[in-house]
């Protein structure tokens, strides 16, 4: 990871859970990390906690589902930090719903953030990398195990799963486009299974965030953050395109 010290990483959805864990690990490794979130006050608290670490966390308020917010955020990053070397597309939402009667606004929220927001952040970051002549950058999509299969979970949110299947396609499509341009920028899709975060509650389910994971195998946010660091630390000629991460369990096929 030495080659990344002092360089700029953008982490979306960095106010809690996986995003906060990724931001924390990268700051400890010496990167300049822009923590993007709607609940920016939480990122400010994390930045205070990490102020004695090797790198620095820069909190930035932004709703990734809004086009103007995203464009303004990346303009701020370019103006104040000079550019982007790493983008971690972590922001996401489930918004529990069904396919028979919606509601439509929940479908839209899922697709606006998980697909369109991710795509716009990627486009903005790549434009800045190109402008700055960065040809060793890295884009990481935090995908999901449900982006590769369709488990029959109770209350399964099929629109959420569809959005994560889209992320799988977007990662492979970006790999092909970058390859066609002879770019050395890498793309990695990191797909964790059940991870103990606030995600289920934040998506609208009336659950106790602790008890909801207590009786089933699950990952911790740091497990996913460590996988991101592993992908970033691979030699420049190595393309870690897809990382599918499960907790060790007899139920995993």
**What pLDDT score does 218 carry?**
77
Could you read off the pLDDT of 53-62 as tens digits, one per residue?
999 999 999 9
Do 20 and 14 touch, CB atoms closer than 8 A?
Answer: yes
Active site residues: 160
Report whether 238 contacts 137 (CB < 8 A): no
User: Mean of the pLDDT values across residues 184-206?
Assistant: 76
**How much is the pLDDT for 195?**
78
Q: What is the residue-wise DSSP string for 145-204? A: GGGT-----TT--HHHHHHHHHHHHHHHHHHHHHHHTT---EEEEEEE-SB-SSHHHHTT
CB count, 10 Å around CB of 180?
8
Q: List b or e across 1-26, with b for residues whose CB sees 16 or more CB atoms inside 10 angstroms.
A: eeebeebbbbbbbbbbbbbbbbbbbb
Ramachandran sector of residue 177 (left: φ over 0; alpha: ψ -120 to 50; beta: rest)? alpha
What is the distance between the alpha carbons of residues 143 and 187, in angstroms, rounded to a whole number? 12
How large is the average pLDDT for residues 135-151?
Answer: 92
Average pLDDT over the chain, rounded to whole? 90
pLDDT tens across 199-229, in order? 555 555 655 555 555 666 678 899 999 999 9
* Tally of CA atoms within 13 A in the half-sphere of 39 that contains its CB: 12
pLDDT band at 250 (very low <50, low <70, confident <90, very high): very low
For residue range 108-128, list pLDDT tens digits in order: 999 999 999 999 999 999 999
Q: Please indicate, yes or no, whether the overall pTM of this predicted structure exceeds 0.85.
A: yes
Q: Is the pLDDT of residue 45 over 50?
A: yes
The whole-number pLDDT of residue 253 equals 44
pLDDT tier at 155, thresholds 50, 70, 90: low
pLDDT in tens, 89-114: 999 998 888 899 999 999 999 999 99
3-class SS string, 18-67: HHHHHHHHHHHCCCEEEEEECCHHHHHHHHHHCCCCCCEEEEEECCCCCH
Q: pLDDT grade, residue 248 (50/70/90)?
A: confident
Rounded CA gap, 141 and 101, in Å?
Answer: 30
Q: Which pLDDT score, from 0 to 100, does residue 23 have?
A: 98
């Amino acid at each position: 990871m030495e080659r990344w010290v002092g360089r700029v990483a953008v982490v979306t959805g960095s106010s809690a859970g996986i995003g906060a864990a990724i931001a924390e690990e990268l700051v400890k490794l010496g990167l300049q990390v822009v923590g993007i979130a709607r609940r920016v006050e939480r990122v400010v608290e994390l930045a205070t906690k990490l102020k004695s670490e090797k790198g620095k966390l820069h909190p930035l308020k932004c709703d990734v589902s809004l086009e103007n917010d995203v464009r303004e955020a990346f303009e701020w990053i370019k103006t104040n930090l000079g550019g982007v070397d790493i983008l971690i597309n972590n922001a996401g939402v489930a918004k529990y719903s069904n396919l028979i009667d919606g509601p439509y606004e929940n479908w839209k929220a899922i697709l606006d953030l998980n697909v369109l927001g991710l795509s716009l952040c990627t486009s903005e970051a790549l434009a800045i990398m190109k402008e700055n002549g960065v040809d060793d950058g890295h884009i990481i999509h935090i995908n999901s195990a449900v982006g590769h299969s369709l488990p029959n979970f109770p209350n399964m949110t099929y629109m959420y799963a569809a959005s994560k299947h889209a992320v799988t396609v977007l990662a492979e499509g970006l790999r092909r486009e970058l390859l066609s341009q002879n770019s050395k920028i890498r793309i990695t899709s990191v797909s964790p299974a059940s991870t103990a975060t606030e995600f289920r509650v934040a998506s609208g389910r009336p659950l106790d965030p602790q008890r909801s994971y207590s009786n089933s195998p699950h990952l911790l946010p740091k497990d996913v953050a460590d996988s991101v660091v592993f992908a970033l630390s691979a030699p420049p000629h190595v393309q870690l395109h897809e990382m599918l991460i499960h907790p060790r369990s007899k139920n995993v096929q």
